């Protein structure tokens, strides 16, 4: 066996899966990955023994409390990270707006550059003048 540093990457666009089955295993797996309802999973499981194994395992994991808790915990962590990132971006935008106010840039320009609304920029302006 020989190992190389060659990597093959395939991109699959699930939104472009043909509706009509083409008889390939790839089509069945793509349908499995894009399934949104249990009925869709069951329908595709009937057509392929390999996909059926995956559906059964997915159902087992979906009904396992520990797995659900791990998933929910991870989801909450991702939401927390996203919230912190949004807060950081918002704070940075507010600093930019304050700097533009100090440079006496027109409020309309600050609105356009930062995406903040007029009232928020006015409140920043009023806070700095106190």
What is the pLDDT at residue 64? Answer: 80
Is 77 a member of any domain?
no
91 half-sphere exposure, CB direction, 13 A CA radius:
6
Is 40 a member of any domain?
no
Three-state SS string over 50-107 comes to HHHHHHHHHHHHHHCHHHHHHHHHHHHHHHHHHHHHHHHHHHHHHHHHHHHHHCCCCH
**Containing domain of residue 128, as a range?**
83-130
From first to last of its 130 residues, the chain has per-residue pLDDT tens of 677 788 888 888 888 888 888 888 889 999 999 998 999 899 989 989 999 999 999 888 888 888 888 889 999 999 999 999 999 999 999 999 999 999 999 999 999 999 999 999 999 998 877 6
- Give the closest residue to 115 by CA, choosing from 90, 83, 86: 90
What is the pLDDT at residue 75? Answer: 93
Query: Structurally, how many domains does the chain consist of?
Result: 1
Whole-number Å distance between alpha carbons of 113 and 103: 14
Whole-number Å distance between alpha carbons of 50 and 27: 13
Is 33 a member of any domain?
no
pTM, full prediction: 0.49
Main-chain dihedrals φ then ψ at residue 125, nearest 5 degrees: -65, -45
């Amino acid at each position: 066996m020989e190992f190389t540093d060659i990597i093959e990457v395939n991109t699959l666009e699930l939104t472009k899966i043909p509706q009509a089955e083409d008889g390939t295993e790839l089509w069945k797996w793509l349908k499995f990955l894009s399934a949104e309802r249990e009925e869709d999973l069951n329908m595709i499981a009937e057509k392929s023994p390999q996909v059926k194994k995956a559906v059964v395992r997915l159902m087992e994991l979906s009904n396992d409390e520990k797995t659900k808790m791990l998933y929910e915990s991870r989801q909450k962590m991702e939401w927390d990270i996203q919230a912190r990132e949004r807060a950081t971006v918002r704070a940075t935008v507010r600093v930019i707006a304050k700097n533009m106010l100090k440079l006496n840039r027109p409020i309309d320009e600050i609105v356009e550059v930062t995406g903040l609304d007029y009232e928020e920029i006015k409140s920043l302006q009023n806070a700095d003048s106190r």
